Structure formats: structure tokens, C-alpha cells
Structure 1
Amino acid sequence: MRALYGVPLGIAAAGAAAITYAAGYEARAFRLRRIEVPVLPSGTRPLRILQVSDIHFVSGQRKKQRWLHTLAGLRPDFVVNTGDNLSDPSAVPEVLDALGPLMQFPGAYVFGSNDYYGPQLRNPARYITARISGKHGTNGNKPITGALHNPWTDLRDGFDTAGWANLTNTRGRLKLDDLEVELTGLDDPHIKRDRYEEVAGGPDASADLSLAVVHAPYLRVLDAFTADRYPLILAGHTHGGQLRVPFHGALVTNCDIDPDRARGLSTHEAEGHRSYLHVSAGCGTNRYTPVRFACYPEATLLTLTPRRSPR
């Protein structure tokens, strides 16, 4: 037999092998990305931020749970969680257990759409067609039609009890030794819950460092943060493209940011100002598309260093 339903057997076998690799190995081959970002005032000691994002926890994911436990061994100065912790409404206790060792450290968080609503089974091809059409699945402030509501308040209460700052359309502060770190956050732009007017005005001059935090890196949000002169913006949501083409990169981002900035450190410019932008590829997937290819699941340790002096 040379073909299976019109598809040459060699191509079918290669496709099956790719899916097996993407689902059976790479989606569970967790990695730590390390980067440096020069945003601190001169003479300031380096700060180490651990960013976790897009965990998309499904009950029973023991390997992911154990890996998240190990991240506490990095002993970061503080932790930033950029949302989409859930992909299963019953998984809140396991998420809180997985992040429990990290909640011993100062931290802050924003939520993503999957913290509020359960995942829906959809055709993965819609992400590509959405990219072509310019429509990225935003739904205003109305509940997503047919979506299950997640127990996000239980997740919020767990984070708040641990002392993590809730950055939902508000500002928070962390005191780290003699440093005052201000964090300004937004609710998820992907479902239009962001309210920038509630946090507008730029960094507080009394803070030693001000950072911006959001789940989905939509351009309207990046423009606003950059125009207000935040030196660094932290985001997630994109899964790094999730399925990347070797030597090409991401095909889609599930928002309006360009694929070249779907993961890692880049810059953003608006109104004559420039900010660093870090987009985490996250460490999970939607439960209905549990595959990754050329895009390992990750957390990121960002070491903030003093700004480089101009020559």
C-alpha cells in the first residue's frame, strides 16, 4: 500500500512521528530561559525575576507540578505570574500546590482569559485564519459564549493569602531590601478586560524601578505602557507560537503582535520612547491542543542589571 486515504505513506508516517514528538516529548520537556535586561539605575544591585506564565494546568499533570516545585531552588528576588494558570476547573488546588514553594517569595500576578473561562474545543486552524483576517478572538466584556466559568476567585484568594500583589488594572509595590519596586498591571486585553485609564500616568518617581505586567501583549497595551515610559513590560499568552517552523519561527501569536516577538526579549517603540518587552512562551498548552514543536515549555529567569552608560 503506497497511500493512505490519498496521502503518501512516507508523508503520513512523518506527520505521525512529528505529532508523537510534539505531544509525547516536547510538550513536557520543560526548560528555563535566562536573560539579562539593563533597566536598573546605576549602582543598583542586580535583581532576579522569575516569570511563570501559561501553565494551563490540567489535573494530574504531575511532571509539570514537580518541575514548578523545583523553580524555587533558583531563589529569585521576586516572582511574576503572567496568567492562564488553568486549563481545568478542578485544578486550582494543584496549581496552588505547584506554585506553593514559589509563593514563599515576594510576587505579583495578573490573570488571563483561561483563568476566568474553561477551554473550548476549537479547530486549531482558526489561529492561522485569524492572523490572516486580523481578528484575534476578542469578545468584549461579555462571557465567552458556551464557556465554562473557572473558579478563578479561589485561585486569586490563594495568591493573595500568600502575599502576592494582585495587579488587575491596578498598581502594586514590593520592598526588596532597600529597593522600592513598583508594578503596574492590567487585566487580560484578549477579552478586553484591560482598563488602562485606571493606571495611566507612568511610573511613580518615588520608586527605584517600575515594571509593567499584562497577560496578552496587544499593541494598544504595549503602546500605552511604552508611551508612559515603563522600562520593561512582561507578558505571556502567545505560547511562543507553540508550533514554530525551524529557521523561520512562529506562524501565529493569537494577538496582534508580530510573530518575530512571540517569545523572548525584544523592544517596543511608541511616541518616541522605547521599552524592553519580554514575552514568555509559557510552560503549558490548551488541554485540547497538547502539542509543542520547536518551542519548548519554559519559565524565564530575568536578571535585571544597571543601564548601560552611553559611550
Structure 2
Amino acid sequence: MAGTAVKTAATALGAAAAFGAGAFAWGSLVERNRFGVRFETLPILEPGARPLTVLHLADLHLAPWQRAKIEWVRSLADLEPDLVVNTGDNLGHVEAQEALEYALAPFASAAGVYVNGSNDYVGPSYKNPLRYFTGPSKRDHKSTALDTPRLESFFQNDLGWLSLNNTARAMTIKGSNIEFFGVNDAHRGWDKLGSLPGAIETMQENVEWPPGRTGQDPITIGVTHAPYQRVLNSFVTNGADVIFAGHTHGGQVRVPGLPALVTNCDIPRDQAQGLSVWHHARRAAYLNVSAGIGTSIYAPVRFACPPEAVLVTLTAGDFSYS
């Protein structure tokens, strides 16, 4: 009997080890390269407005050798987005800038806005994955500085994107007036929420909407890299209709059918990926958190959480007949 029990235990351990090895192989070799697009629709535009498509790009963590990712990102231009929202952490390697410029070059014809994540300032470093269960990750002071000025020059001068790092901007797209505001990386404490009301007021006082659109109520879009609750609450207080965020990687390694195990911030685990509604002080805004496109080169695995870009179609709030 004892021998039978030992054999049963050994069989169970062997099966568990085989499953673990298979899961790791799937997550590191297959799923992290199963790029896909999630499609969402939000009825927030003025009645009669033309639909707008918003491509949300998050957490590319790009390394120069990741050819499949680069070509897939380029192919997203075929979706012909009216607006690109980039929520940061674009660089995954100190030598990735040229590859990133190639990957994003097809979007030069689309309007765009961006905020930075920490991996737009410093390169990645190894972290024990188990530490994420004890709370948000801490900065590694040994990280290598990245060429952030070149990155932002590319965004602003080559692509024509607007920076929303602790500021507010405005634009008109296909006849809809849109106000934007955003913050720098809240995960590193670089968000300046106290300055947002002033930035929004300055933007509203100086914006010149196209003729014939001055009576239209603009929609308001908030953009952050990391969806910390203090940021989301502030955005709702400041009138956001929809908020875009990344950073969480959707948990990156998940149990199928369950919420994210970790979020690397303080957002509830069931809102760490996907479209939801964020409530604060009797107000609310739609919240889209992307699972992101990449991973750190030191943790190249996803499980039950494939990489994604998100195409959000903004439509009129009711039906209109012309």
C-alpha cells in the first residue's frame, strides 16, 4: 500500500510539473505573441455626430528584435483610426527607439495624444514576479536612462501627437469638439493632479473651436498611464466622459475566468482590463484599461491574458435623422 501511495504521489507531481512546463511554454512562446484587437462602442458624442474611431495603444515595451510585434503594430493603421491614444511604456530596451519609430510611422496621418509611463524614461530591470503580490512595484535606481527627448520629439514633430503629461489640450475631429487632459506616470508619483483644474481652465479660455461648432458641448477624454484610484477620481471630478489607461497588463498571468491576480496599482482587480464604469462622488465616466501589447523582456510570458490593442468607436448618444 505504501508503495502504491508513493507511486500515486509521484505521478501527481509529475503531472503537475508537466502542466506547469506546458503552461509556461504556452505563455512565453505562444500567447504573448497572440496579438489581437478588442472592439468597444461608446455612445457619448453629441446627437447627430459622425462616429469617431479611437485606437488605444498601451505598454508596447518594445525591443528591437521583436519583428512580429513591430509588423502587427504597423498593420493596425489599416483600421484607419481617427484618433490614437497612447498610454505609455513604449520602450522595452535602451536601443528600441528606432524600432518604435518604424512601428508607429504609419499613424502619422491620424490625430493623436499621449502620456508617458516610467518605461518612456528608464529601461526595464529584473523584478521578482512574486513581489507584485505584496503591492505595486518600486523603482529600481539602477535602471538605464532612455532618450525621452527623442521619443517625445518623434511623437510631437513626426506624428503630430499632443502631450497630455499633466496638462490639457483640445482638438476638433470630424466635427466633434474634444477636450483632453492627462497626467504623467502616477505609478512613479509624477502626476500633478492639483494642476489639472488650472490647465483645463486655461485650455478652455484659449481654445478656438471651428466656426459653427462653438455651441456644441465638447466631450472630455482623460488619459493616464497607471489607473490609480486618486487619478480616476480626479478625472471624474474634472468632467471626464471616458478615461483611457494601461499599465496593469491586465494582470498578465491570470486564472481563466477570474479577475486579474495582481494590478500593480490600487485599481480593483475586476477593473484591471476591459471597459467598465468608474464612479466617484455621484459622477461617473467610462473607463477603458488595456491589457497592453508587450511585456518586460525580463518577464516574457502571458497566460489567459493575450496582448491587445483596443479600437473604441465613439457614437452619438441617440438616434438622429437627416
Same structural fold, with TM-score higher than 0.5 when normalized by the shorter chain: yes
Q: Which residue of 2 aligns with 1:154?
A: 150
Matched, 1:48 2:53: yes
Contact 1:243/1:251 (CA < 8 Å) preserved in 2? yes
**For the residues of structure 2 that align with 1:5 and 1:197, how far apart are their CA atoms?**
60
Deviation at 1:2, TM superposition (A): 6.7
Tell me: CA distance 1:45–1:15, structure 2 relative to 1, closer, same or farther (3 Å): same
Secondary structure of the residue that 1:199 maps to in structure 2?
Answer: helix
- Partner residue of 1:121 out of 126, 146, 149: 126
Q: Which residue of 2 aligns with 1:137?
A: 137
Cα deviation digits, residues 158-186 of structure 1 (max 9, x gap): 11112100111111222223222221111
**For the residues of structure 2 that align with 1:2 and 1:185, how far apart are their CA atoms?**
59
Tell me: CA distance 1:29–1:3, structure 2 relative to 1, closer, same or farther (3 Å): farther
Contact 2:45/2:176 (CA < 8 Å) preserved in 1? no
Secondary structure of the residue that 2:134 maps to in structure 1?
Answer: helix
Give the AA of the match of 1:103. Answer: A
Q: Using the TM superposition, name which of 61-70 and 164-173 deviates more.
A: 164-173
Matched, 1:256 2:261: no
Q: Using the TM superposition, name which of 59-68 and 38-47 deviates more.
A: 38-47
Give the AA of the match of 2:96. Answer: A
Deviation at 1:50, TM superposition (A): 0.4
Give the AA of the match of 2:155. Answer: F
Give the AA of the match of 1:247. Answer: G
Contact 1:227/1:272 (CA < 8 Å) preserved in 2? no
Tell me: CA distance 1:193–1:276, structure 2 relative to 1, closer, same or farther (3 Å): same
Q: Which residue of 2 aligns with 1:197?
A: 194
Gaps of 5+ in 1: 131-135
Greater Cα radius of gyration, structure 1 or 2: 2
Give the AA of the match of 1:68. Answer: V
Corresponding residue pairs, total:
300
Cα deviation digits, residues 91-139 of structure 1 (max 9, x gap): 0110111011022211111110111111111110000122xxxxx2356
Once the two structures are superposed, the pairs formed by residues 200-239 of structure 1 within 5 Å of their partners are 200=197, 204=204, 208-239=218-249
Tell me: CA distance 1:84–1:3, structure 2 relative to 1, closer, same or farther (3 Å): farther
Secondary structure of the residue that 2:197 maps to in structure 1?
Answer: coil
Aligned Cα root-mean-square deviation (Å): 2.2
Q: Which residue of 2 aligns with 1:275?
A: 285
Cα deviation digits, residues 174-202 of structure 1 (max 9, x gap): 22232222211110000000011222266
Give the AA of the match of 1:296. Answer: P
Once the two structures are superposed, the pairs formed by residues 1-311 of structure 1 within 5 Å of their partners are 8-130=13-135, 136-137=136-137, 144-161=140-157, 162-200=159-197, 204=204, 208-307=218-317
Give the AA of the match of 1:28. Answer: N
Tell me: CA distance 1:289–1:138, structure 2 relative to 1, closer, same or farther (3 Å): closer
Gaps of 5+ in 2: 1-5, 206-213
Contact 1:165/1:173 (CA < 8 Å) preserved in 2? no
**For the residues of structure 2 that align with 1:7 and 1:254, how far apart are their CA atoms?**
33
**For the residues of structure 2 that align with 1:2 and 1:151, how far apart are their CA atoms?**
57
Secondary structure of the residue that 1:27 maps to in structure 2?
Answer: helix
Deviation at 1:308, TM superposition (A): 5.0
**For the residues of structure 1 that align with 2:166 and 2:67, how far apart are their CA atoms?**
33
Deviation at 1:18, TM superposition (A): 0.3
Deviation at 1:156, TM superposition (A): 0.7
Contact 1:138/1:192 (CA < 8 Å) preserved in 2? no
Contact 1:37/1:302 (CA < 8 Å) preserved in 2? yes
Q: Using the TM superposition, name which of 19-28 and 220-229 deviates more.
A: 220-229
Give the AA of the match of 2:137. Answer: G
Contact 1:103/1:159 (CA < 8 Å) preserved in 2? no
Give the AA of the match of 1:94. Answer: A
Could you list the structure 1 runs, at least 4 aligned residues long, displaced by more than 6 angstroms after superposition: 1-7
Q: Using the TM superposition, name which of 146-155 and 291-300 deviates more.
A: 146-155
Give the AA of the match of 2:265. Answer: C
**For the residues of structure 2 that align with 1:4 and 1:115, how far apart are their CA atoms?**
48
Deviation at 1:6, TM superposition (A): 11
Deviation at 1:3, TM superposition (A): 10
TM-score normalised to structure 2 length: 0.88
Deviation at 1:153, TM superposition (A): 1.4
Give the fraction of aligned pairs with identical amino acids, expressed as a percent: 41
